[in-house]
Structure 1
């Protein structure tokens, strides 16, 4: 019989990380271990902080589930049993890995995908002074894509220009995390066009992004906070050009793969990102990102320590060369 247990791990960041309206100094995650006889697998979820989905709330919800519910559980049953969010993500990813371990099959084979390959990933720079952001961007040795967090202040334009001067060749993206209004967006367009910005992520607050409906922005705009799960796709079609799939938002790899297939049918490109997390969380996102236009899976680089075996970073890419044989450590409390 399948046995499920969960515990909270505290991840320490190398330094505080700021975005519009929020500052990260450490991150607690829920790790769920699924055991079936000699096989076990671990899934990790951060939750969605701006929706109140936290490690603590996920652990409480997990504890409230009757153990009898795990008898005969599979990924499809799980989709009906729990709503999208962090808890379902941790459970879903654990079930994927458990089946891969049990059947000794690569994860991408179970997902009916071609063999995985290294992915170009953005390297993220948190909100700071223009000079500090340029320095941080230049410290990413080998980076080929940089994403700048911006906060809606008067410094945003200079942040973009200063980073571009320091890093003239990289792909440049910006992420407002709901921190702009339309006036700020339009005021930044000259700087963004001059500096060859390729993507604007979530410029307007959720609920205010109807202003983007029909707006012809010369730079593609991606939905992050406005887009949570598969059922949101239709609403995105005339406001955004891409959707950012995060497993913590949509509830795991199962729905992430569905979104990746369905988004192009709605005329939307695919971006795959993550919350703060270790390589346990990056591995299934890496699978989901195999066909994505943009991948933003650099979260382990912000941590003091990572789960082993860890994602490999080099030449601006993320790779999991032994993804098919992962044996993640059992869920324990404490740091990564």
Structure 2
């Protein structure tokens, strides 16, 4: 059955500037795809990522190019064979899963034989900033069990000491976004152990992964920019202990499930992550979160406002979104959610 579709780009202002080692942003630029078979209407959201050469325009062009080949009977596995991983495939794959659930009058987690948790503990992310400002922000989250810290290579230990002092009972994920080198990593690891650092994401540039071969870190290292799809796992073995699964990297929920299952079989720690987007982008990733040791789906918390019927957050506890948002019931309020139609 052929499908009609609409593509929209949206800019969601952030509550405040969000800075990482590669730069800063003040809004989340997202792509929304709506599909209809004439009876059911489905949708999804993805976030183009400049790190991989993606822009709003390039992702929209990819979607436009492939949509003549997309029909309601197309499976996620078939989509993997006609599109590369990335934000364009993600939004199509997740919209198709939403549509299939509505056509079958069921839900996506049932179609995929996945568990659905009503609550997940998620990290809340601190933007890169001056040490005193990061410490103050950490203090405001001191009751959260898990806080994610964006760092560059400048004054790593000093910042983490102040942050730990402000939130002594929290665990921390450090995300360096490829900003460190092997000497920094080797020197800093043992110093971070007493500061409740539980995981370090992508300390080195992805092209330097080989430097981690056989490296025995005191804190698990998590592949983020180095891990996109299940085929990457062979390369990551014996270098990283964990992988960060993001749907905009895997190119959708179909490959995210495959990556999660194969990573577990290989003994990797699973982390579920996100780009900065609305609850609509978090909804498919939430299903992977049920199988993850670390969850980082706080994208909506970074926004000035989220979509209606989105996730709720309370001291690091993330409650499942309304059934009207994605993947479970007919989205009768979708027009109101989208605002632009």
Shorter-chain TM-score bucket reads over 0.9
For residues 162 and 24 of structure 2, the distance between their equivalents in structure 1, rounded to whole angstroms, comes to: 22
For residues 271 and 209 of structure 2, the distance between their equivalents in structure 1, rounded to whole angstroms, comes to: 19
In structure 2, what is the equivalent of residue 221 of structure 1? 221
Matched, 1:300 2:300: yes
In structure 2, what is the equivalent of residue 94 of structure 1? 95
Shift of residue 135 of structure 1? 1.2
In structure 2, what is the equivalent of residue 70 of structure 1? 71
In structure 1, what is the equivalent of residue 193 of structure 2? 193
For residues 68 and 303 of structure 1, the distance between their equivalents in structure 2, rounded to whole angstroms, comes to: 34
For residues 71 and 100 of structure 2, the distance between their equivalents in structure 1, rounded to whole angstroms, comes to: 15
Q: Give the secondary structure class of the aligned counterpart of 1:325.
A: coil
In structure 1, what is the equivalent of residue 152 of structure 2? 151
For residues 61 and 17 of structure 2, the distance between their equivalents in structure 1, rounded to whole angstroms, comes to: 28
Q: Give the secondary structure class of the aligned counterpart of 1:64.
A: helix
Aligned equivalent of 2:334, options 293, 307, 329: 329
Matched, 1:162 2:167: no
For residues 116 and 250 of structure 1, the distance between their equivalents in structure 2, rounded to whole angstroms, comes to: 22
In structure 2, what is the equivalent of residue 2 of structure 1? 3
Structure with greater contact order relative to length (CA < 8 Å, sep ≥ 6): 1
Shift of residue 115 of structure 1? 3.5
Give deviations 1:130-158, integer Å, cap 9, x for gaps. Answer: 111111122237421001111011x2111
Give deviations 1:3-62, integer Å, cap 9, x for gaps. Answer: 122110111111111111221121211100111122111110102320111222111122
Matched, 1:28 2:23: no
Q: In the alignment, is the contact (CA less than 8 A) between 1:237 and 1:267 conserved in 2?
A: no
For residues 65 and 264 of structure 1, the distance between their equivalents in structure 2, rounded to whole angstroms, comes to: 32
How many residue pairs were aligned? 333
Which range moved further: 75-84 or 171-180? 75-84
Shift of residue 165 of structure 1? 0.4
In structure 1, what is the equivalent of residue 125 of structure 2? 124
Matched, 1:287 2:273: no
For residues 199 and 148 of structure 1, the distance between their equivalents in structure 2, rounded to whole angstroms, comes to: 10
Q: Give the secondary structure class of the aligned counterpart of 1:161.
A: helix
TM-score (norm. length: structure 2): 0.93
Where does 1:40-119 land on structure 2 (aligned, <5 Å)?
A: 40-65=41-66, 67=68, 69-70=70-71, 72-119=73-120
The change in CA–CA distance for 1:66 and 1:95 in structure 2 (over 3 A counts) is: closer
The change in CA–CA distance for 1:276 and 1:321 in structure 2 (over 3 A counts) is: closer
For residues 104 and 309 of structure 1, the distance between their equivalents in structure 2, rounded to whole angstroms, comes to: 20
**Deviation >4 Å, runs of 4+:** 330-334
In structure 1, what is the equivalent of residue 263 of structure 2? 263
Shift of residue 104 of structure 1? 2.1
> For structure 1, which runs of at least 5 residues remain unmatched after alignment?
none
TM-score (norm. length: structure 1): 0.94
In structure 2, what is the equivalent of residue 181 of structure 1? 181
Give deviations 1:230-273, integer Å, cap 9, x for gaps. Answer: 11011011100001000000001111011111102222111110
Q: In the alignment, is the contact (CA less than 8 A) between 1:4 and 1:70 conserved in 2?
A: no
Q: In the alignment, is the contact (CA less than 8 A) between 1:160 and 1:191 conserved in 2?
A: no
Q: In the alignment, is the contact (CA less than 8 A) between 2:93 and 2:252 conserved in 1?
A: yes
For residues 200 and 166 of structure 1, the distance between their equivalents in structure 2, rounded to whole angstroms, comes to: 20
Q: Give the secondary structure class of the aligned counterpart of 2:85.
A: coil
